[in-house]
Amino acid sequence: MKKYILVLLVLTLFLSGCWDRRELNELGITMGLGIDKLKNEYLVSAQVIVPSEVSMNASTGRSAVTLYQASGETVYEAFRKMTKNAPRRIYPGHLRILVISEDLAKEGIAESLDLLARDWELRSDFYVVIAKDLTASEVLNVTTPIESIPANKMFNALKTSERSWAGTEGVILDDLLTDLTSDGKEAVLTGVKIIGNKELGSSKQNVESITSAAQIQYDHLAVFKEDQLIGWLTEEESRGYSDITDAVKKTVTAIPCPKEGQIAIEILGFNTSMKGSINKGEPEVDIHIEVKGNVGEVQCSIDLTKPETIKEIQKIYEKEMKELIEQTIHSVQNEYQSDIFGFGEAIHRSNPKEWKKMKEHWDEKFTNLTVHVQVDMKSLRIGTLNNSFLRKIKD
């Protein structure tokens, strides 16, 4: 009996509690982080929840978040220095969004990401975006309607946009690190900007009127080479990128009618396959896209009950899509020489030995790469109306 008691006493030394336990009332729950570069120091901004304002019973109507900032020679140093003015330990375990300033991205983002990649407290499912033409702290300082926590608004808006509108890319940390370290694929990140008066964006007035003085909006894709931002795609090119990389879930595309006017096509199914090959010693890539759509809006006089009309619309869509994709590829090849599409990975998958020979000078190969594009609209529905009432009015 004494023997068992002794064993139990010894076990209690090792079962006395979790060494890394965190009490909730000791933590500053951080939903958004921003990283800027000021001369030779990093400025880190943390958007932290105000507990009393997210409680239904205790809310006073003040802002649901507050912003803490500190600077240091490293991101880690700046992060720890926030304890000088924050009453709680800054805890990033529930991080939703990381905003990096455009100026810092142009210098390179690898060093800034090192802490976030190795911190065991961080989940890696938060989005990373680039603040376009402004600082990261300015983005995190804007209050938002509907979502009282701006970082939640930014996360949900990007998630919704990615699902419903091609041209934005929800890139989480793990995927970004994969692109930064892989052979044959460069990184892209979605840009974010402030529309309106950013000075009024941080005030309570911004959420008290129907139209906010300042709004956070996603805008185009940032092109990277290694870890440095080298330019921006246009809106059309951003959509072309999504088409090429099979990132389209649902979207709406306007195409010209056979004679005049416009038709809006809702994309319901989109599948891109990419295959690399070697032809006479030179790399080539074949892109095949299959699309299913629905006529969402008609602004011209056409008869949708005729099969030949549907076929004509399908051909117009295929032509427009093919031209957009080819223009996007040529623009990136000529202006940036950065393989953001993963063509190198396609060559690597199909011809590992040939890829090994050319990967060291892939930038040159990418610039002159031949890409064959084929677009097939497999089906096109016409919705609940056979023909638009516009046809009767104009006829």
Q: Using CB atoms within 10 Å of the CB of residue 215, give its burial: 0 to 12 exposed, 13 to 18 middle, 19+ buried.
A: middle
pLDDT at 373: 98
pLDDT digit string (tens) for 122-161?
888 899 999 999 999 999 999 888 888 999 999 999 999 9
User: What pTM does this model have?
Assistant: 0.88
Percent of the chain residues topping a pLDDT of 90: 66
What's the whole-number mean pLDDT along residues 335-350? 97
CB 64 within 8 A of CB 49: yes
* Average pLDDT value for the chain: 88
Per-residue pLDDT at 102 exceeds 80 = yes
pLDDT at 348: 96
pLDDT at 8: 43
Per-residue pLDDT at 344 exceeds 70 = yes
Amino acid symbol at 355: W
Torsion of CA 314, 269, 378, 386, to 10 degrees: -60
In this prediction, residue 260 has a pLDDT band, given cuts at 50, 70 and 90, of: confident
pLDDT at 119: 74
Rg (CA), the chain: 26
Spatial CB neighbours of 211, under 8 Å, sequence gap ≥ 6? none
In this prediction, residue 197 has a pLDDT band, given cuts at 50, 70 and 90, of: confident
Q: Which domains does the chain have, with CATH numbers?
A: 23-232 (no CATH), 235-395 (3.30.300.210)
Spatial CB neighbours of 308, under 8 Å, sequence gap ≥ 6? none
pLDDT at 18: 47
In this prediction, residue 27 has a pLDDT band, given cuts at 50, 70 and 90, of: confident
Per-residue pLDDT at 5 exceeds 50 = no
Per-residue pLDDT at 395 exceeds 60 = no
pLDDT at 59: 55
What's the whole-number mean pLDDT along residues 158-171? 90
